[in-house]
Amino acid sequence: MKNIFIYSLLYFFWIGNLVAQQTPAVQQTQAYSIEGATAHLGTGAVIENSLLIFNNGKITFVGKATAKIARQGTRIDATGKHVYPGFIAANASLGLVEIDAVRATDDEDEVGSMLPHIRSLIAYNAESKVVESMRPNGVLMGQITPRGGTISGTSSVVQFDAWNWEDAAIKKDDAIHINWPGSLTRGRWWMGEDPALKLDPKYGENIQKIVTYFADAKRYLSSNQKRENIPFAATKGLFNGSQKLFIHANGEKEITDVITNMKAIGIHNLVLVHAKGAENVANLLLKNNVPVVIERSHRIPEGEDDDFDLSYRNAKILMDKGITVGIGMEGQMERMNTRNLPFYAGTYAAYGVEREEALKMITLNNAKILGVDSFVGSLEVGKDATLFISEGDALEMKGNILTDAFIQGRKISLETHQTKLWKRYSNKYKTN
């Protein structure tokens, strides 16, 4: 009996190994030269017939293939293909939930409403099957964000090829996230109240709670308190500028209140998330240098008779006003859908945004918004060699077919739980 137990344990581990996630790649030991591809730099610029060289995890050359410089290390002929900087998913929650319907796998929403000290990073599952499925689509980095409450917690930016969360982090505790209250509310019909939309009489009070919270935190931080207030201490970066405040807010009124109140309190590093109606207060955003992380384009318009393509045109509308726009992931089935990030950008491109600008939303713009643009987000010399080669236009479903991908110069596997099953069953039918 005991033996059976041991055998089954052994069997479990053995099988476990078989279906385990991709082993993180080893550190880059030799240079790569990618030649002949159309390079989409992520800055808006494109180099046809390009040459890209990287070594020790960093890009050392970006230019025309006609450049007369020595190719280094492994040469990859990418003629007819495209090379891109790794895509970055903002406001994502990968690795915090594995299977939506299984509560035991759900770690995205902590109890409480003011939780700046709650950190997503330590719960981030670097070995998630969902995370690894990002890589064959070119999505190589993401901002892992807790959900719920008023102050949801603190996010971190990770890359998707790691043994553990420490390896994964490329920017620890990059931002704190707030869900800003809405100014409108509706009655609770189940309590017999009128379900009609009305002004929320508690809106002012709700804002005040946030303002007071930060004011108290600021006072705490500037004094010598003997007993540590853990949540207040967690907001330090907001006031010294090392951390950003992501505010999930909708409506012109709310956006205006966000900016005026947070500026007044001394929090200057602001990012708006979702930000419906931001186009109508664009000047305020521009004046205060506030970018917007918009939602996925694949949404049903909210209003019954909104233009059918209103959600598709969201990016165009904001960009026309000069606002810096990135794309975020929050929404229905967001974990598994994060691999569709390039297609959200593609759809925004179909509806008005110039293609390289659309690409920018998930590369350099998102890098800037997350504060990681000094080392990722574009194909530029000195930046991390986090990039990939695609057979075609990576913003297109039919073009997004990856041949190679690198994270910090490490050549990563493009296999996943899903490709394994694909091969396993394709082989089954072949041999049958």
Partner 1 sequence: MRKLLLLCSLLLVMSANAQDYFPTNTGVKTTKNTVIAFQNATIYVTPQKKIKKGTLLIKDGKVVAVGKKVQIPTGTKIIDVKGKTIYPSFIDIYADFGIAKPKRVRSNNRTPQYDASRDGYYWNDHIRPETRATQSFKFDTKKAKNYLEAGFGVVNTHLQDGIIRGNGMLVALNPNASDAYRILENTSAQYLSFTKSLQSRQSYPTSRMGAMALLRQTYLDADWYAKGHVKNKDASLAALNKNKNLVQIFEAGNHLDALRADKVGDEFGIQYTIVGGGDEFERIADIKKTNANFIIPINFRKPYDVSNPNISKNIPLSDLRKWNQEPTNLAVLDKNGVNFALTMHSLKSMDAFHKNLQKAIELGFSKESALAALTTNPAKMLGSTNIGNLQPGSHANFIITSGDIFDAKTTLYENWVQGAKNVINDRHIKDLTGSYNLALNDVNYTLTISGKGAKQTAAVKLGDQKVKSKFSFKDNWIHITLNEANGYARLVGQTINTTNALQGTAYDDAGNETSWTAVKQVKKDKKTKKDKKKQKKDLKPFPVSYPNVGYGNYEIPNQETILIKNATVWTSEAAGNLENTDVLISKGKIEKIGKNLSAKAARVIDGTGKHLTAGIIDEHSHIATSAVNESGHNSTAEVTIEDVVNPNDMNIYRNLAGGVTTIQILHGSANPIGGRSAIIKLKWGENAAGMLLKNSPKYIKFALGENVKQSNWGASNTIRFPQTRMGTEQVFIDYFQRAKEYDALKKSGNPYRKDMELETLAEIINKERFISCHSYVQSEINMLMKVAEKFDFNINTYTHILEGYKVADKMKAHGVGASTFSDWWAYKYEVLDAIPYNAAIMANQGITVAINSDDREMSRRLNQEAAKTIKYGGMSELEAWKMVTINPAKLLHLDTRTGSIKIGKDADVVLWNHNPLSIYSKAEKTIIDGAVYFDIESDLAKRKAIQTEKSKLIKMMLDAKMGGGATQMPKKKRNRNFHCDSE
Residues found near partner 1 in the complex (CB under 8 A): 98-102, 129-130, 183-184, 186, 194-199, 251-253, 298-301, 303-305, 307-309, 333, 335-336, 339-340, 343, 346-347, 349-350, 395-398, 400-401, 418-419, 421-422, 425-426, 429, 432
Smallest separation (angstroms) from partner 1 to the CB of 170: 24
Q: Which of 138, 160, 45 has its CA nearest to residue 394? A: 138
Structure tokens belonging to residue 239? 């006031």
Judged by beta carbon, residue 296 or residue 411, the one nearer partner 1 is: 296
> How far apart are the C-alpha atoms of 250 and 270, rounded to whole Å?
15
Contact yes or no for 403/81 (Cβ under 8 A): yes
Smallest separation (angstroms) from partner 1 to the CB of 308: 5
Judged by beta carbon, residue 64 or residue 420, the one nearer partner 1 is: 420
Judged by beta carbon, residue 134 or residue 292, the one nearer partner 1 is: 134
Smallest separation (angstroms) from partner 1 to the CB of 139: 13
Distances (CA, A) of 151 to 29, 303, 312: 43, 28, 29
Assign 12 to helix, strand or coil: helix
Q: Where are the beta strands (DSSP E) in 113-265?
A: 139-144, 151-159, 169-179, 184-186, 197-199, 244-249
What lies within 8 Å, CB to CB, of 181 at 6+ separation is 150, 200, 202, 203, 206, 207, 210, 254
Judged by beta carbon, residue 33 or residue 400, the one nearer partner 1 is: 400
Smallest separation (angstroms) from partner 1 to the CB of 352: 11
> How far apart are the C-alpha atoms of 8 and 29, rounded to whole Å?
40
Smallest separation (angstroms) from partner 1 to the CB of 221: 35
Structure tokens belonging to residue 244? 């950003």
Smallest separation (angstroms) from partner 1 to the CB of 347: 6
Judged by beta carbon, residue 103 or residue 227, the one nearer partner 1 is: 103
Judged by beta carbon, residue 123 or residue 336, the one nearer partner 1 is: 336
Judged by beta carbon, residue 183 or residue 363, the one nearer partner 1 is: 183
> How far apart are the C-alpha atoms of 355 and 198, rounded to whole Å?
40
Smallest separation (angstroms) from partner 1 to the CB of 250: 11
